[in-house]
A = this chain, B = another copy of it.
Amino acid sequence: MNLSAYNYKTYITVRFADLNAFGIVNNNVYLTYFEIAHTGYWKQLTSWSSKTKGIMIGKAEIKYVKPIYLNDEVYAYVRTARVGNCSFDVEYILTLKKPEGEIICTTGKTTCVFFDYEENRPAMIPEAHRERMIAFEALEVE
């Protein structure tokens, strides 16, 4: 869990509507936080814009370490950990900024498939985007 391995970080605004009856952010909302972070990351890297192709999540994993409260200052770290031809893995860390420093509250991973919604099947990641992901993360190509 090395935050310095992440090149992208964004602030997450906790909404009152994200809370559940226990006064903490509900479980399902964490995937939304990952999505907010990855949308920002993806936009910065690729300026992607398409109505027919996009990212479909094949698998998601979330480890809940600490609960999130309404007034928490939440940051999301995102990185692409692997890039294939049609798919890639994304890793996430959510942190809480506390007086004593930044503490990890959640970690997660999604396996993403580049998807053609018109053809209804996986598609090759456009080469230009693939190269930017690899360069940005200094990844070794498979």
Contact = CB atoms under 8 A, between A and B. Distances in A.
A117 interface: yes
A98 interface: no
Interface in A7-44: 13, 15-17, 19-23, 26-32, 35-36, 39
Contacts of A19: 20-21
Contacts of A97: none
Contacts of A62: 59-61
Q: Which of A20, A28, A56, A117 has the most CB of B within 10 A?
A: A28
A22 B57 contact: no
Contact of A57 (B23, B27, B31, B51): B27
Given A22-B54, A54-B22, A35 B61 contact: no
Interface of A: 13, 15-17, 19-23, 26-32, 35-36, 39, 51, 54, 56-64, 67, 70, 117
Given A17-B28, A27-B57, A27-B60, 18 more contacts: A13-B36, A15-B32, A15-B35, A16-B26, A16-B35, A19-B20, A19-B21, A20-B21, A23-B51, A28-B30, A28-B31, A56-B64, A56-B67, A58-B64, A59-B62, A59-B64, A60-B62, A61-B62
